[in-house]
Structure 1
């Protein structure tokens, strides 16, 4: 590739695509990353290298094709922290559930939640009158240490994200939006990068799968539930943030809170949380584009 004159290089957006994008761009080539779901329809026959190459070339030449925006090193760093943290959370949940299940076999029930578990686990281990054997107590001690280790790792990763957000103006702007905190702001920054790749705020909401699916034919338009396209982790963060805003909307008197309260009464809390997530995604695009913090409007 280094010996070729500058040309267009089309690639499927897969593992390592961001790295090769940077490598080929430094060589002077124009790189286009194509989402796999846009490549697959052009595969004509059995899967082989030639058929795959032809299938990639076809959409790369189409003027209406939407190409994947590459991620910078900084974006990948932030995203890797989120992925590692999420894996630690999964392991922590599995570990606490295992401890709870093992104790239940010995007739000891603990309520759900890591805080309940850690509060009672040390007392259970120290209680010599509960019938637990020394062997099982030793195993519980080891599991308890593992839970503490996972909690410490999660806290450490969150501190890293906090340090990144303090040094990044875009993160600070995003965190002015109600329902967007440290995790959502940094995840948005890692996923979006340059907001100008989206023509409008609605495009960003659609990219995140927060707009209705369409099933229209014969001039009849039918809107279904949200499409759930895109990054489900980021979408979940936005919905959880929206849910936190919905729960306290009746305690505020600004126009946004009043809209949320009316919507919750009319459509329920879940639909309202998704609607707030959609609005927050659009607001995030506006905040990043205009480089201005979010400001509440009085009723």
Structure 2
């Protein structure tokens, strides 16, 4: 008996309120279809129904497209009960639907397409391994990203209100606040709220603009003032919430005992974002697999015996962006001292440019090296140690 004949294949189309499962055999013959609610109390009945359809000597294999969203509870339940659960990339089921002459789209057909992929690509599909800690970190990162996006939109709204009604942003400060305030007092205030980015020059400019603008009061001024204060309150709330989220992230990250922040350019936010996208690094046999997952490894394109390797436009684009930003930070130099942030990568970057590579190509080379380093740090839970190189190599 062939290995594939030892199983029945259960493809599940996932939704918020309910799921639809289609069961087929190794010859892709449809055995049954089951619709059940997306709640733990219904999962037990669903598993009993699958057992009733499973002939003696056969075992079921489940395929789910999404094991981190609507399908997470089901994936967790099935793995806890010793079932084999495979992750099916949605791109595979989409291609399966489009491969037929008459394209269909229904819950039943979507589930059957997932089951068909199970039959054909059983050995290539990864096992679903829901991990509460990694999932929680991913949810916190998603929450923080939403707060950052909302805060950016609020700041744009604030700038619009100020530019429309206060040409020089006079109403950043009330009349009583700026009247009689010295340059030194205003500078001290600005340094505190701007995290030491504003200077005496900025304080002089603000006081000068306040005098030049004169009286900017217009009709319904109270409403416009209310809008500004409302937006400022909302920005302050988002900032506090972000601090709470980062505090929770710090606690969860300490449980993993990773030391990613020992590398220049990686702080708590970047480290948590990397872990949120990578998950359990042990699911990647080596760094090459992680590079391909991130879309950093080159892909060969050819035909008729001719071809070449090109930059991949596939893979996890969020993880790709994280490695790109990290690569940029590795080759940065300080504005004042002109010293490189990471002398090793700066020297490597300059060497690649001398070899004739463009800046973009040189950064991709750095990204690929960073994948190896991050993979090793996560797998072995080690810290990053900056190699000592001679000064002549940096120049």
Cα distance, 1:178–1:271 mapped onto 2, change above 3 Å: farther
**Residue 186 (1) aligns with residue 186 (2):** no
Q: Is 201-210 or 8-17 further displaced after alignment? A: 8-17
Where 2:269 maps in the other structure, the secondary structure is helix
Higher Cα Rg, which structure: 2
- The aligned residue for residue 320 of structure 2 is 235
Q: Distance in 2 between matches of 1:66 and 1:27?
A: 20
| Cross-structure match for 2:141 | 82
Root-mean-square deviation over aligned CA pairs: 3.2
Partner of 2:306: 220
Q: Compute the TM-score of the two structures, normalised by the length of structure 2.
A: 0.64
Aligned residue for 1:72?
131
Q: For the Cα contact (< 8 Å) 1:214–1:222, is it kept in 2? A: yes
Judging changes above 3 Å, is the alpha-carbon distance between structure 1 residues 80 and 39 closer, same or farther for their aligned structure 2 residues?
A: same
1:7 alignment partner, SS class: strand
Q: Distance in 2 between matches of 1:252 and 1:96?
A: 31
- Higher mean displacement: 66-75 or 196-205: 66-75
Within a 5 Å distance, the mapping from 1:1-299 to structure 2 comes to 1-3=46-48, 4-5=50-51, 7-13=60-66, 15-43=69-97, 44=100, 45-61=103-119, 62-67=121-126, 69-106=128-165, 108=167, 129-131=215-217, 133-170=221-258, 172=259, 174-230=260-316, 232-248=317-333, 250-251=339-340, 255-263=344-352, 267=357, 269-299=359-389
- Unpaired segments ≥5 residues, structure 1: none
1:64 positional shift: 4.8
- Give the conservation status (yes or no) of the 8 Å contact 2:64–2:71: yes
**Could you list the per-position Cα deviations for residues 5-43 of structure 1 after superposition, in whole angstroms to 9, with x for gaps in the alignment?**
452112222632222111112223111120111122222
Aligned-partner Cα distance in 2 for 1:287–1:239:
18
Mind listing any 5+ residue stretches in structure 2 that lack a counterpart? 1-45, 52-58, 170-192, 390-395
Using a 3 Å threshold, how does the CA distance of structure 1 residues 78 and 106 change in structure 2: closer, same or farther? same
Q: Distance in 1 between matches of 2:357 and 2:166?
A: 43
Secondary structure in 1 matching 2:383: coil
| Alpha-carbon distance between aligned partners in 1 of 2:274 and 2:312, rounded to the nearest angstrom | 19
> Quick one: distance in 2 between partners of 1:74 and 1:244?
28
Deviations 1:239-278 (A, max 9, x none): 2222121103953685444113333565455544443333
How many residue pairs get matched?
290
Give the number of the structure with larger relative contact order, counting CA–CA contacts within 8 Å between residues 6 or more apart: 1
In structure 2, C-alpha distance between the alignment counterparts of 1:67 and 1:19, rounded to whole Å: 18
Shift of residue 46, structure 1, vs aligned partner: 1.1
1:219-250: CA deviations, max 9, x gaps? 223333342421x3333232222212110395
Contact 2:353 2:362 in 1 (8 A): yes
Moved more, 148-157 or 283-292: 283-292
The alpha-carbon deviation at position 204 of structure 1 amounts to: 0.5
Change (3 A) 1:67 1:128: farther
More helix by share: 1
Q: Which one has a larger percent strand, Structure 1 or Structure 2?
A: 2
> 279-288 or 80-89: which moved more?
279-288
Q: 1:286, 1:32 → 2: CA distance?
A: 26
